[in-house]
């Protein structure tokens, strides 16, 4: 018998959410096999992950779009569950390079599913996104909220991937899938050994905030203050990446322990609390004591005014709840940025 509960393959495991999830899995008694091609991550992330858990992990540099290279991973390692993170994720870039996104995000994913079927590995956990809800008419959104037509090729790859997983679970015996729809992951590990490390211009708010605080950027742009929200800026559901990682562990537990009620399930992973962009900036300055220059600019194409989660289903079925305090999360993001920049 293995000393571990089970082994989980983590694709895109050197990425921001992937590294934190790998740590949470190991801390929960699982073993992990991490694969990544470093197209949007750094080898230092794997080193940080190993420092936190105090041992080496099985790591292979593999592009999940390369079916034969991926088949080698399946031949060399025994695992019953895969968490598929590997994907391009820049909404703006997907608008100008749709083929790049459809090719990478869907081919890599179908390769994983094909090999899961071929090798009779039962469990697939897919990292989906709240973007599938679009500009929802009723808030907060539940898992029953109708999906809106995607506003970007990136968002569309998430919708298509959900449908592919649902269809595979229906069609193939012994095949189970869970899609986790994330809201806005922020924060970093308290050790500051892993965190969000965007290449080039960030796509998310917090790296812009921390880079501005660090003096890497002169000023933070707030896209629009004329939305129909309390302070005119967009409302989002910001979830600490450590809480998000624990949701993955809860979902893996549900699969491995055969607790699923359907062969394909969907869960919202958020806090259930909307926070405006201006509120987040104010909270960051208060939590860290760092002054943050910002300016209001025009709205950004594709931004919905408000979206946040109803998390009742995940709370009940996964026995999981977001617990971390927003101020602690913002401080962790700043500590990570300081470490990356060598700021004392």
Sign of CA dihedral 61, 54, 23, 340: negative
Distance CA 204, CA 201 (A): 9
Which residue among the candidates 101, 154, 238, 264 is catalytic per the annotation? 154
DSSP state at residue 178: E
3-state secondary structure of 265: strand
Closest CA to 24 of 47, 52, 2, 59: 52
Active site residue 4: no
* Cβ contacts of 26 within 8 Å, gap of 6 or more: 32, 53, 57
How far is the C-alpha of 65 from the C-alpha of 126, rounded, in Å?
16
Tell me if 334 sits within 8 A of 288, measured CB to CB: yes
Distances (CA, A) of 121 to 68, 118, 174, 202: 17, 8, 8, 35
Closest CA to 100 of 153, 149, 39: 153
Give residue for tokens 């540099």. 61
- DSSP string spanning 118-133? HTT--EEEEEEEGGGG
Answer yes or no: are the C-beta atoms of 303 and 222 closer than 8 Å: no
189: tokens are 């590990």
| CA distance from start to end of the chain | 47
Write out the catalytic residue numbers.
154
């Amino acid at each position: 018998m293995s000393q571990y509960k089970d082994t989980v393959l983590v694709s895109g495991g050197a990425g921001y959410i992937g590294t934190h999830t790998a740590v949470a899995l190991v801390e929960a008694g699982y073993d992990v096999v991490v694969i990544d091609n470093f197209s949007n991550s750094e080898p230092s992330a794997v080193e940080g992950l190993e420092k936190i858990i105090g041992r080496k992990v099985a790591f292979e540099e593999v592009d999940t779009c390369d079916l034969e290279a991926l088949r080698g991973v399946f031949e060399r390692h025994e695992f019953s569950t895969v968490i598929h993170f590997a994907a391009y994720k820049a909404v703006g870039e997907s608008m100008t390079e749709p083929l790049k996104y459809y090719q990478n995000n869907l081919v890599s994913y179908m390769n994983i599913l094909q090999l899961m079927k071929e090798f009779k590995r039962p469990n697939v956990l897919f990292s989906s996104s709240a973007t599938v809800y679009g500009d929802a008419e009723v808030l907060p959104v539940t898992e029953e909220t109708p999906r809106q037509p995607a506003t970007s090729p990136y968002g569309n790859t998430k919708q298509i991937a959900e449908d592919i997983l649902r269809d595979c679970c229906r069609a193939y015996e012994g095949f189970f899938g869970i899609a986790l729809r994330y809201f806005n992951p922020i924060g970093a590990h308290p050790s500051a050994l892993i965190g969000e490390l965007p290449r080039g211009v960030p796509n998310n708010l917090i790296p812009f905030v921390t880079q501005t605080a660090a003096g890497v950027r002169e000023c933070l742009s707030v896209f629009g203050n004329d939305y129909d929200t309390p302070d005119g800026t967009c409302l989002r559901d910001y979830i600490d990446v450590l809480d998000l990682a624990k949701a993955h562990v809860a979902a893996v537990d549900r699969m491995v322990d055969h607790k699923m009620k359907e062969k394909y399930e969907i869960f919202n992973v958020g806090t259930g609390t909307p926070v405006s962009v201006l509120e987040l900036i104010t909270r960051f300055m208060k939590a860290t004591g760092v002054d943050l220059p910002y300016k209001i600019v025009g709205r950004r194409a594709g931004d919905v005014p408000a979206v946040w989660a109803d998390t009742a289903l995940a709370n009940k079925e996964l026995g999981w709840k977001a617990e971390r305090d927003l101020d602690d999360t913002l401080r962790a993001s700043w500590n990570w940025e300081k470490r990356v920049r060598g700021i004392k």
